[in-house]
Structure 1
Amino acid sequence: MTDESLFPDDLLELQERLHRAHAEHRACLAALPWSVEPMKGWSRGERFSHRGDVPDSPGWSDEQKATVARLWAEIGQLSFKVGGHPHWKSVPTEILVASRMRLKRQARPAEAPESPDAAEVA
C-alpha cells in the first residue's frame, strides 16, 4: 500500500487488540491492592501522600501476579507483531512515526468517555 492513511486489515486488528490488552491490564491493576507485597499503610500526617490516608495492603495473590504477568506478556507479543508488521516496510522513513500514530488513533476501540473532560481531550 502506498497511501500511508490505509492500513491492512490484519494490522488494524492487531492494533485494536493491543489497545484492548492495555485497557484490560490497566483495569486489572486498578482493582488490585496498591502494593504487590503485603505492606503496612500510613496516615497522611506520617508521610506525604497526595491520596490522604493509605490503608494496609494485603499484597497480591499468586493468581493475581500470574494474571498481571499474562496480560503484560500479551501486550509485549502484540506490540512486537504491530511493530514488526510487513506494512511498515512500505512506509517512507520520514513519515513512519506519524503513520504509526495515525494507526493508533484509527484502530482505537470505540469507548464511552469516562468523564466530560475525557471527551474533550480525545
Structure 2
Amino acid sequence: MAATEDFEFPSDLLAGQEELHQVRAELLALLKRLPWSVDPRDAVSDTQGWRALERPASPGWSDDEQAEVEKLRRRELELAVFVTCHRYWSDLPGPDAVRARARLKHMHDTGTGTGADAGAGAEGPQTSG
C-alpha cells in the first residue's frame, strides 16, 4: 500500500477532513472581517519599537460575533479530534499512517479523492453537542 500511496480512506473520514477544511476556512474568513480586538480598544501607534505597530481603534466584537467564533472553534476541535483519532489510523503501521495522514490533509489541494466513496457527497461525522 505504501509503495503507491494509494490509501483507501473511509467515507466518514473523508467527509470529516473536508468539513474540517471548510470550518477552518470559514473561521479564518470571519476572523479577517472582525475588528482586531475582542474588547473595545483605543488606536495603537508605536513606530519607535523594533517592529512598527499601527492599529485603528477597535469597537470590539459583539456577543453574536463572539458566539460565532466560539461555535466555529468548538466544531474545529471536534472535527480535528474525529479525524486524528479515527479508527482507520490504528490499522496502518507508523510510516504508512504518517504518509496517509499527509495525503488526507492535502487531498483538497488537488481536488482528488481516493476510496470508493470519495466525492460521493457522504455526510460528515455526527457528533453530539
TM range (shorter): 0.7 to 0.9
For 1:39, the equivalent position in structure 2 comes to 41
The answer as to whether partners of 1:33 and 1:59 remain within 8 angstroms in 2 is yes
Q: 1:82 to 1:90 in 2, by over 3 A?
A: same
Aligned residues: 108
Question: Higher RCO, 1 or 2 (CA under 8 Å, sep at least 6)?
Answer: 2
1:64 aligns with 2:78: no
Looking at structure 2, the residues matched to 62 and 46 of structure 1 have their Cα atoms a distance apart, in angstroms, of 35
Looking at structure 1, the residues matched to 59 and 70 of structure 2 have their Cα atoms a distance apart, in angstroms, of 19
1:16 aligns with 2:18: yes
Judging by fraction of residues, say which structure has more strand: 2
Looking at structure 1, the residues matched to 20 and 110 of structure 2 have their Cα atoms a distance apart, in angstroms, of 10
Looking at structure 2, the residues matched to 80 and 71 of structure 1 have their Cα atoms a distance apart, in angstroms, of 14
Q: CA deviation at 1:89?
A: 1.1
Question: TM (normalized to structure 2)?
Answer: 0.73
Which deviates the most, 14-23 or 2-11?
A: 2-11
Structure 1 alignment gaps of length 5 or more: 111-122
For 1:86, the equivalent position in structure 2 comes to 87
Judging by fraction of residues, say which structure has more helix: 1
Give the share of equivalent positions with the same residue, in percent: 38
Q: CA deviation at 1:10?
A: 1.3
1:70 counterpart SS class = helix
The answer as to whether partners of 1:38 and 1:58 remain within 8 angstroms in 2 is yes
1:43 counterpart SS class = strand
Q: Structure 1 residue runs of 4+, over 2 Å off?
A: 1-4, 42-50, 107-110
Q: CA RMSD in A?
A: 2.3
Q: 1:35 to 1:109 in 2, by over 3 A?
A: farther
The answer as to whether partners of 1:12 and 1:103 remain within 8 angstroms in 2 is yes
Looking at structure 2, the residues matched to 90 and 56 of structure 1 have their Cα atoms a distance apart, in angstroms, of 53
For 2:118, the equivalent position in structure 1 comes to none
For 2:32, the equivalent position in structure 1 comes to 30
Structure 2 alignment gaps of length 5 or more: 112-129
Question: TM (normalized to structure 1)?
Answer: 0.77
Looking at structure 2, the residues matched to 31 and 57 of structure 1 have their Cα atoms a distance apart, in angstroms, of 12
Q: 1:45 to 1:107 in 2, by over 3 A?
A: closer
